[in-house]
Chain A
Amino acid sequence: GAGVSQSPSNKVTEKGKDVELRCDPISGHTALYWYRQSLGQGLEFLIYFQGNSAPDKSGLPSDRFSAERTGGSVSTLTIQRTQQEDSAVYLCASSLLETQYFGPGTRLLVL
């Protein structure tokens, strides 16, 4: 079956612009996670959704970052007023139980 998909695969933007990153989880997976992978920082947890609720937003690095999930399925991560330090690969994962399955990521470059 289909795995986790993310779009776009690559995004280049200018500093100060807003970006939206999309994640389509595996059908039926109730939990959805966003992570950021950057050089020197490794993989960092950003936010967790159970259904449409986000009980854990502790990893969001600033109030410029927000995420939502609709219909218990698709999620969008929004970064407002992007900064160069936001450049990273943003990974989405979904799970039904404990094991998380990852998408291919969105590579974001902020110029």
Chain B
Amino acid sequence: AQSVTQLDSHVSVSEGTPVLLRCNYSSSYSPSLFWYVQHPNKGLQLLLKYTSAATLVKGINGFEAEFKKSETSFHLTKPSAHMSDAAEYFCVVSGNSGYSTLTFGKGTMLLVSP
């Protein structure tokens, strides 16, 4: 079984400052990990994914995440926040069932102030 813990339910930043959204996972095998973003009243959009290639993964809109096996972490970062980044972010781990049932974290709401 796998699980995901997003350490912050809310993160507030000012526009132009760095973003850090924290995620820890638990898995009995080498997982695939994802970050999805959900804007208000919208569906989930894939930001980036880790599938055991490079440990530093670059995604859309300037986001990136680093897989650290020793820390079982997959934190999401962005050097400079934009107002349009305000949304809910989900860290997700993929199952090991031959198909990929996803296990979602509880989500982190990112608030960006001018």
Contact = CB atoms under 8 A, between A and B. Distances in A.
Interface of A: 4, 31, 33, 35, 42-43, 45, 48, 50, 55-56, 91, 93, 95, 98-105
Interface string B75-114: 0000000000000001000100101111111110000000
Given A42-B106, A42-B107, A43-B104, A99 B46 contact: yes
Interface string B41-72: 01111100101000000000000000000000
Interface residues of B, number: 22
Given A33-B102, A98-B32, 9 more contacts: A4-B43, A43-B104, A45-B102, A93-B44, A98-B49, A99-B46, A100-B100, A102-B36, A104-B43
A24 B100 CA distance: 19
Given A42-B106, A45-B102, A98-B32, A56 B43 contact: no
Dominant SS among interface residues on chain A: strand
A104 B67 CA distance: 28
B99 A91 contact: no
A7 B34 CA distance: 26
A31 B101 CA distance: 10
Contacts of A45: 101-103
B7 to A, nearest CB: 15
A33 B104 contact: no
